[in-house]
Amino acid sequence: MPKGNNARFVAPNATLLGERLRLGEGSWVGYYCLLDSQLASLDIGKWCDISSGTQIYTHSTHLRCTERGKKVVGPVKLGDHVFVGANSVILPETTIGHHSIVGALSVVRGKYPPYSLIAGAPAELKGKLEAGRARK
């Protein structure tokens, strides 16, 4: 288990890699998740739900393989009360503000403000959340 683990539940078959992972109080990590903090920090806030099958990466070798460049390495931060839908992928250099929702099967990279409704592959800001309801 990572050093900063205060999660309320981590599925027994979830894979947590690296020493730079922090799971906030009350957070939940579903079955078959992969949280990879081997090369940069991965900070998951309080009371987040990371649904089954989600993959969160702090590095990628796509540039090294395709353009003989360097690896992409960058932190990932999820604010408090973020819900990540099933089978989503969150890529390096991503910040998701507190009280946001990521739709299932999304591929997320970038910076999103609090109360965001994020979905798609590639993911886009689809709307803002207000008092538990989405608005466009």
Residue 119's SS3 state is strand
- Mean pLDDT computed over 67-94: 92
CA angle 53, 55, 57 (to 5 degrees): 175
CB 86 within 8 A of CB 51: yes
pTM, two decimal places = 0.89
Q: Is the domain covering 4-129 a CATH 2.160.10.10 domain?
A: yes
Q: Where are the domains of the chain?
A: 4-129
Q: What is the pLDDT of residues 13-57, one digit of tens each?
A: 999 999 999 999 999 999 999 999 999 999 999 999 999 999 999
Q: What is the pLDDT of residues 103-128, one digit of tens each?
A: 999 999 999 999 999 999 999 999 99
For position 7, what pLDDT does the model report? 87
**pLDDT value, residue 3:** 58
Mean pLDDT of 62-91: 85
